[in-house]
Amino acid sequence: MEWETDRGLTIRIGLALVFVAVLPVAFIYAFVFAINAIGLDLLAWATARPYNGEVYVESWLAIGAVAVGFAAQFLLGDSIALRSVDAGRITADERPDLVARVDRLAQIAEVERPRVAVSRSDVPNAFTIGVRPSKATIVVTEGALDTLEGDELDAVLAHELAHVKNHDVTVMSLSYVLPSLTYVVAIAAFFVLRGIFHVLGSFRHTDDDGAKGLFIAIVVLVVSAIVTMAISALFWLASFALFRTLSQYREYAADRGAAAITGKPAALASALRTVDDEMSDRPDRDLRHVDGGLEALYVAPIDDYQFGEERELISSDIFPSTHPSTNERIERLQELAGERA
């Protein structure tokens, strides 16, 4: 097997790991800053008492909290991901041909055979999850098994094995910690705002002191919720751009890896075209169902279709695509095929 170490991918993975570790800690201290810059003044205004103290969080406590998040992803991330796409791990008795293919290709790639799972979706696609390469799981949809055969299916499986060998699966799995955290925090803030408006809608009458107290409480809660949502959105965008940018590069690297494993880059080019054509004919609701929040992990992009004709309105500079252009990937694979001919 002609396998070349991709130094560009190695450097990107190293940098991504640094940001993956640092951003959640920065997220915590962003809230500390907001409390000291806005929250304490708001508290002083609400209580009509000056407050000269300052809130701080010990670094070991912030790092420990982030470590707990990574531990949760380590222990529960795979199970959550499988449930999100309605997938279950299978054995050689259940899918002998599929497991045999993965086993054979893993031996060629010189990696430990990943576990295999099948998603019940009829949208053709595949992805790999796993914080540890030795515990990785390749997920293939029913649609892919029905649509792809022979060399095309081997090529897609080899692409996923290349992700395992390149160790980028670990980074992508850990990258979901911060987006998940910011999402939960933002949703909590949203429900606080929703609750406030619900209370206001049912408010009828109270005395002057009660009205003043209610007004102060509402102002404090609204400002706190808005600041919380703003910080969460900022860090969600940062993490979103981070792993999407890494995702684009790693797809090229996995395409080259698949070509090295199978020796048939044209087969992967054909498979990508087949999957791309199949998904372009699917209603957006079908694609959202298979998404599961894992769009950056799939062998072929899902998000391109969910925006439909409005895709051009969204700047790829702010929201980079999860994958390179399928046409560009196919062209590169065809060039590899030409070099091997």
Catalytically annotated residues:
160
**What's the rounded Cα separation, in Å, for the pair 249 and 72?**
27
Q: Are 274 and 293 in contact (CB under 8 A)?
A: no
Question: 120 by DSSP, 3-state: which?
Answer: coil
3-state helix, strand, coil in the chain (%, to 5): 70, 5, 25
Type of residue numbered 119? S
Query: How buried is residue 194: exposed, middle or buried, by Cβ count under 10 Å (0-12/13-18/19+)?
Result: exposed
Q: Are 339 and 261 in contact (CB under 8 A)?
A: no
Type of residue numbered 54? E
**What's the rounded Cα separation, in Å, for the pair 139 and 255?**
17
- Where does residue 300 fall: left (phi above 0), alpha (psi -120 to 50 degrees), or beta otherwise? beta
> Helix H segments across 167-283?
168-174, 177-202, 208-262, 265-280
- Close Cβ partners of 143 (under 8 Å, ≥ 6 residues apart): 121, 122, 123, 124, 125, 278
Type of residue numbered 106? A
Nearest to 121 by CA among 151, 171, 85, 161: 85
Question: Residue 96, Cβ neighbours under 10 Å: how many?
Answer: 11
Pairing of strands 115-119, 137-141: parallel
- Close Cβ partners of 124 (under 8 Å, ≥ 6 residues apart): 141, 143, 144, 146, 147, 148, 274, 275, 278, 279
Q: Are 155 and 118 in contact (CB under 8 A)?
A: no
